[in-house]
Chains A and B, each alone.
Chain A
Amino acid sequence: MDQLKDERAVELFELIAVSDRKAFDEFFRKSYATLVVFGCRYVKDKQTASDIVQEAFIKLWNNRSSLKDVELPKSYLYRTVRNLSLNYIRDNANTQPGLELISDQAVAAGEEQLSWADPTEQSDDDDTQKRLSLVKLWISQLPERQREAFELSRFEGLDHHEIADVMNVSARTVNNHIVEALKNIQKIREMDEKKNVIAGHG
């Protein structure tokens, strides 16, 4: 699937602003998968994430006349999906059985279930896959804000101003989050390695 290039995102936004449905469809096709996986990191459920992404696009279409004023088109949908996901979590906090759904372990489990493809399909690069699921596990143990900033930077390829826009904080804060995240990953990694030496697994 093609990644949506920044320049193309700007063009598409300008076309959508004048009600171009083809541009709307192209924008959807190019960003749907990414946004669903992104939303899943919050709501832990593919169908819910899909509904949220569709809702985000409905908002996009309904607000199309004001898109000209959007400075960072790429982060616009991330921000909408993030807000809708956080609202969803908030509104369903009382009805969802088992609050531990949101604990770190569950985050890790959710990640494993969703984000990394069946290793047998990727046997050519098995080692890299294994190392990467380890990295994902480390990331999942980060404090919430650090994790969000790190993932938006590394996984979604957003720059710090776009991340600041998505998370509704300053670019400076984003910077701090990412540096702290790196420091924490380093710590967690060291701890893991010590454990693995003792337990002899890994």
Chain B
Amino acid sequence: MAKMKKHTDDDSREISEFFRELPDNERMEMLGIWNKSGMLHREATANEITDEETEDALSALHNKLNFDSQQNEEPTTSAGSSSKIAGRLTYFLAAAAVALIAFGAWLYTPVTITVPAGQTLAMELRDGSMLTANSGTTFEYSRLFGITNRNISIDGEAFFEVRSSDVPFIANANGSVTEVLGTSFNIRSWSTDPDRETRLNVASGRVKFYPQSFPESAVELTEGHSSRISDVIKKPADPVRAPLSYAIAWRDNNLAFSVQPLSVIFDELERKYDVTIEWSEPEIAQTTLSTFYTQPDNVESVLADICTVKGLTFSQTSTGYRISRK
């Protein structure tokens, strides 16, 4: 079978050259290491995991795959017992009920929108508020948004310009709540962030900011101020003056980070440029960097700069890039 062709000729040429060039005593020693390591490793592996452990893992796997319940499942066919409808009226009522239930269900199914990687989205909400969302952001709101409520949840980053109204505009983001009447502000809140941090920057007006689980700890932010909530700090951080230009750099296709771990920066690049970025050692992702890029042309120029600064190098993979130490 063609699939099974071994490539031993290719494999061994350079390796046998290596062995050939060694002095005699060295060669024996290294050949011993080469030949025996495989065999003994396999022996040790067999000792490491017992058959019982294998069986336990297999039945756990069967559970996860629902094998047992599926085995007893009857094949489903459409020729089942379709109930006979007695008269036209019954039929009509049933259809109306179904339609009503479907409409009710539809009404209560929230609208979910995810911005594709590599794109940003600007849209007007039904209440007249404007929303601009960064690549990869997901937001969700009820079909009654702008009628009975102005609640929206967001995972990602977005800039809101909220139309004034008596109905509070409430943005939920990973356990944080931002409540306003009419103002503009930027929320950055990625569920993939190590601490699930939500960072709020207010551009104009007055904003109330608090954790979902602890509304009493609310802080009020005004123009030019920033606060944050995360899994690590449960109460909102005291509002500080923060340059808005950094927080909303993404809206102008700029990249701005102040003392962020490379993992956060790589996440952002992945979403912005729709690529995957992997790294050879976990330590790489933990070093921090502050940086501001004005409308970078492509991800490679950004990566090249980061790598130069941090003594790293990057190579192309089938879906993106791989970062490793020089």
* A, B in one complex: yes
Contacts from A to B (Cβ < 8 Å): 1, 3, 6-7, 10, 21, 25, 28-29, 32-34, 36-37, 50, 53-54, 57-58, 61, 71-72, 86, 89-90, 93-95, 99, 102, 114-117, 121, 128-129, 132, 135-136, 139, 144-145, 154-155, 157, 159-161, 168, 171, 175-176, 178-179, 182-183, 185-186, 189
Across the interface, name the chain B residue whose C-beta is closest to A151: B41
Q: How far is the CA of A171 from the CA of B26 in the complex (A)?
A: 27
The 6 A-B pairs with the shortest beta carbon distances in the complex, nearest first, are: A33-B49, A93-B282, A94-B194, A155-B41, A117-B47, A154-B37
Q: Is the CB of B57 within 8 A of A10?
A: no
Within B1-53, which residues are at the interface with A (CB < 8 Å)?
1, 3-4, 6-8, 10-11, 14-15, 18, 22, 26, 29-30, 33-34, 36-38, 40-49, 51, 53
Q: Is the CB of B36 within 8 A of A128?
A: yes
Known A54-B60, A99-B282; judge A115-B10 contact (CB<8 A): no
Q: How far is the CA of A130 from the CA of B194 in the complex (A)?
A: 42
Q: Is the CB of A33 within 8 A of B45?
A: yes
Known A154-B41, A159-B6; judge A1-B263 contact (CB<8 A): no
Q: Is the CB of B278 within 8 A of A37?
A: no
What B residues does A145 contact at CB under 8 A? 280
Q: How far is the CA of A162 from the CA of B194 in the complex (A)?
A: 35
Q: Is the CB of A115 within 8 A of B41?
A: yes
Cβ distance A82 to chain B, nearest Cβ, rounded Å: 11
Cβ distance B319 to chain A, nearest Cβ, rounded Å: 10
Partner among A21, A95, A171, A183 whose Cβ is within 8 Å of the Cβ of B10: A171
Q: How far is the CA of A174 from the CA of B61 in the complex (A)?
A: 33
Q: Is the CB of A10 within 8 A of B4?
A: yes
Q: Is the interface of B mostly helix, strand, loop or mixed?
A: helix
Q: Is the CB of B7 within 8 A of A161?
A: yes
Cβ distance B321 to chain A, nearest Cβ, rounded Å: 12
Is there a chain A Cβ closer than 8 Å to B91's Cβ?
Answer: no
Is there a chain A Cβ closer than 8 Å to B81's Cβ?
Answer: no
Is there a chain A Cβ closer than 8 Å to B283's Cβ?
Answer: yes
Q: How far is the CA of A171 from the CA of B41 in the complex (A)?
A: 23
Q: Is the CB of B318 within 8 A of A168?
A: yes
The proximity string for B residues 280-292 relative to A, scoring 1 for CB distances below 8 Å and 0 otherwise, is 1111011000000
Q: Is the CB of A159 within 8 A of B263?
A: no
Q: Which of B26, B47, B64 has the most CB of A within 10 A?
A: B47
Q: How far is the CA of A100 from the CA of B103 in the complex (A)?
A: 57
Q: Is the CB of A102 within 8 A of B37?
A: no
Known A7-B4, A33-B46, A90-B285; judge A186-B30 contact (CB<8 A): yes
Cβ distance A111 to chain B, nearest Cβ, rounded Å: 10
Known A54-B61, A117-B47; judge A155-B37 contact (CB<8 A): yes
Q: How far is the CA of A160 from the CA of B13 in the complex (A)?
A: 12
Across the interface, name the chain A residue whose C-beta is closest to B317: A168
Q: How far is the CA of A196 from the CA of B26 in the complex (A)?
A: 17
What B residues does A157 contact at CB under 8 A? 38, 42
Partner among B7, B10, B278 whose Cβ is within 8 Å of the Cβ of A90: B278
Is there a chain A Cβ closer than 8 Å to B147's Cβ?
Answer: no
Is there a chain A Cβ closer than 8 Å to B92's Cβ?
Answer: no
What B residues does A144 contact at CB under 8 A? 280-281
Is there a chain A Cβ closer than 8 Å to B293's Cβ?
Answer: no
Across the interface, name the chain B residue whose C-beta is closest to A13: B3
Is there a chain A Cβ closer than 8 Å to B65's Cβ?
Answer: yes
Q: How far is the CA of A128 from the CA of B40 in the complex (A)?
A: 9
Is there a chain A Cβ closer than 8 Å to B54's Cβ?
Answer: yes
Cβ distance A32 to chain B, nearest Cβ, rounded Å: 5
Q: How far is the CA of A115 from the CA of B67 in the complex (A)?
A: 32
Within B86-119, which residues are at the interface with A (CB < 8 Å)?
none
Across the interface, name the chain A residue whose C-beta is closest to B26: A186
Q: How far is the CA of A34 from the CA of B47 in the complex (A)?
A: 11
Is there a chain A Cβ closer than 8 Å to B273's Cβ?
Answer: no
Across the interface, name the chain B residue whose C-beta is closest to A57: B61
Within B211-244, which residues are at the interface with A (CB < 8 Å)?
none
Cβ distance B108 to chain A, nearest Cβ, rounded Å: 31
Q: Is the CB of B18 within 8 A of A32?
A: no
What A residues does B60 contact at CB under 8 A? 54
What A residues does B7 contact at CB under 8 A? 159-161, 171
Q: Is the CB of B263 within 8 A of A116?
A: no
Further 20 A-B residue pairs, CB within 8 A, beyond A72-B3, A189-B29? A21-B67, A28-B58, A29-B54, A29-B58, A33-B46, A50-B57, A54-B57, A58-B61, A89-B282, A90-B282, A94-B194, A99-B282, A102-B281, A102-B283, A117-B43, A145-B280, A155-B37, A155-B41, A157-B38, A159-B6
